Structure 1
Amino acid sequence: MASNLWSEEHLNCPVCKELLKDPVTIPCGHSYCMGCIKNCWDQTDHTAVYSCPQCRKTFTPRPDLCRNTMLAEVVEKLKKTGLNPPPAQSYAGPGDVSCDVCTGRKFKAVKSCLTCLASYCETHVKPHSEVTPLTRHKLINAIGNLEQKLCPEHQKVLEVFCRTDQTCICLLCTDEDHKSHDTVSGDAERIVKQKQLGETQTEIQQRIQERLKEIEGLKQAVESLKRSACIEIKESEKIFNEVIRSIEKIHTEVIELIGANEKAAVNQAEGRMKKLEQEIAELKRRNTELKQLSETEDHIHFLQNFQSLCAPPEAGGLPSVTVNTGISFGAVRKAVSELKDHIEDFCKGELVKITKTVNKVAVYSLQAPEPRNSAAFLKYSLSRSTPQASNMRVNTVPSLFRSIAATLNPGVTNC
């Protein structure tokens, strides 16, 4: 009786388009799955106004939802009669390729035919395995934009690759504009390009590992700097407490100097790490795109996207660096002890020298990137043969000046 009074579409939820589950009827008379209407109203909780997704009638406060027993029984009877619709996942949704044969609401395509230039659902693709002429057609996993597989001039399937012009062409093109060009089948060119793609992937993965290793080295260097500074500052403070009244002014000046230098060095290292992480993220993203391209079954799609995706990665805007992991404030205690009796007369004349020396301290030093081809190797060789001074180098600081600067500054790091 229920199947005579109701059709499938009458018992579909207006929100999820599936057969009602735990049906509820709201005050305006429309029915929904209990989960669907709850989700809709949960999103408007902040407004305290709830509306019907169909008629837009509003309710305040939020209505209580009770299962519509009668409607639930009708749905169950329809299921037993075999009238429930196909599962929702068989229908084409946003981003899915729809069947070109289905009428009305289209099902999701599972295969595309490069001969027919059409996509088919599970039902309509069956003739390609049952009808003899169709069994010779080439089927691939469903893809969209099949019109891109046609030659714009001859409206024939693109199945040849012109190496001269680096483009996909049809068989008729090989007898006309590309007659004297170097042409091969799409399958053959895919093999060549696949190998190049693999080499590019390997290079990207190697670059990622190098950058990760560099980041780890920078982190260790920063921690080493902080630990060493913390230890030596504490020990040196014990000595300087004996002469602090006579050197209070210069002590303050050196504190500010070392604090600013440490902050700049740490900020510089952190900025470097951030850029490295950004480069790694970009390399990973590109590696994912290359992996997807490598796994596609559509040779034409592969060849059309190969040129833009498979260009070798740029050498990178960031030069390689040598991380200074052995930063230490050793010899501070001895130098400060020796300086104790002479500090008042000595500091004024040496403060200028200390300032210049401290400014050269950094967590890492820049190096030109290693050459990856002959042109880069030549440039690299010239740059290596020409001495260049860099303010990023960690020079050997005179132990006396270095000791004074580190010891006088208790705020180099958060001890």
Structure 2
Amino acid sequence: MSAANSLLSEAQFLCSICLDVFTDPVSTPCGHNFCKNCISEHWNVNYRCRCPNCQEVFPKRPDLKVNTFINEIVSQFRKSAQWNANRSSLVKQVAKQGEVPCDVCTGTRLRALKSCLLCMVSYCETHLEPHLTVSGLKRHQLINPVENLEARMCTKHDKPLELFCKSDQTCVCTHCPVLDHKTHVVVPLKVEYEVKKAELGKTDTKIQQMIQKRQQKIHEFKHSLKVSQENAYMEVAEGVRVFTSLKESVERGLSELIDGIQKGQRKTEKWTEGFIKEVEQEISKLKKRSSEVKEISRSEDHILLLQSFPSLKDIPPTKDWTGVSIPPASYKGTVMKAVAQLEKTLSEKMKKLLVEAELKRVQQYAVDVTLDFLTAHPELMLSLDRKQVRQGHVKKLLPDNPERFSHYNFVLGEQSFSSGRFYFQVQVKNKPKWNLGVVRESINRKGEIKMRPEVGFWTIWLRNENQYKALDDPPVVLSLQSRPEKVGVFVDYEEGLVSFYDVDAAALIYSFTGCCFTEKLYPFFSPCRNEGARNFDPLVICPVT
């Protein structure tokens, strides 16, 4: 029968009306099978007795009887299906490696669902049933299944470990406090469990915090590595650019050296060829006279010889070549001069390239600077975007607040900096005079002001179109190769450095070094007063490109 069942499926035993396995199967005259109740109800509802499957109509309602053969097959199929389901469930419940087996099961041991601390036995689902239904067993303490339940028994008194000795920090049974732990502090296991659980919760919280800190540190390390990689890439690219430029300068110097030597050699060759040609021409004349003399000398015509003698007796005029010589060209000094010139060129080139690289580096710290209305002298005019400032025609009536400059036409940036590095650049084009730099927060803003580092000013200025000065102590007159149209200002707060750059020429103008910053620093601007409308152009804070 089991072999037959293996060939049958549930679909073969389904009633087409209720779509469930047959119950009291009956057969209609047309040969189709239905549950007896299903087909009876179907015909009770419908006017005609029709087969639901083939639609055959029966003139008289058939007298249906249970098909004992099909009923027996269905019964066997139900038993087989139930057995397979029970077997599948049983297989799923068999204890696997690492799982606690039931201590009651014989033969195949099923997986334990609970362990009883009083019985000291682990139970599967079936054998656990009494502990869930019998009132006396319901009071037993059940826990998730554990192995080695003997370890939960007191080795001295053979009693379950139900108490905790706080003095010895160990689990004890109910007899231990009376015999071995008389003066000790003993509490129920559950009480100490909650205490220790709370402590473990705190420990876990600390561990999670430590994990988060270390994960954050890993994030910082990865970020630092990424920045380092980007910096390395940029430095390599900059190194390639610098060394390529130097290499081109060397190749250009070598090409100029070779070209100069070749030009000198061609000049010597041309000079020598001219002398040779001239000498060859004289030789040709002398050979011609010699031939004429020999020819007339061989003649026996006395009259012809005498008549020709006056024109043949003198040697044709020639140049005295005794002191004429062409010394071999020497290029010994040429190479040395070329190397010296190349060294000078490379030195200037390297200096320029290094400044260019330095300028690119500091421009990475560019910040968005805007002008602060509250600090602006009343004569100054600020643009709506607060990126430009120029000298106005009239002095505005503004509140003389503590931040405002009252004597000199100065204005500060709105942003302050108390650490790190920052850079900004300002267009000074077409202005015969201006002041730029940074100042500390506590500078004097009223009356006469002495602009020096000791009072909090690190600035440079231009006067009379070409007179540049760094207002250091003492002031330093600056000699610039070109007139800057755009000035970059860079500050390294911790390094104590303030540097000014000619942005377009990529040249360093001046650096204040060894500064000691202890306060907030603010960008500082002064377009200076007009000189017959010659200084009306504004100072413009420019974006870094």
Which of the five TM-score ranges fits, normalised by the shorter chain? 0.3 to 0.5
Q: Which has the higher helix share?
A: 1
Higher relative contact order (CA 8 A, sep 6+): 1
TM, length-normalised to structure 2: 0.32
- Greater radius of gyration (CA): 2
Q: Kindly indicate which of the two structures has a greater share of residues assigned to strand.
A: 2
Q: What TM-score do you get using the length of structure 1 for normalisation? A: 0.41
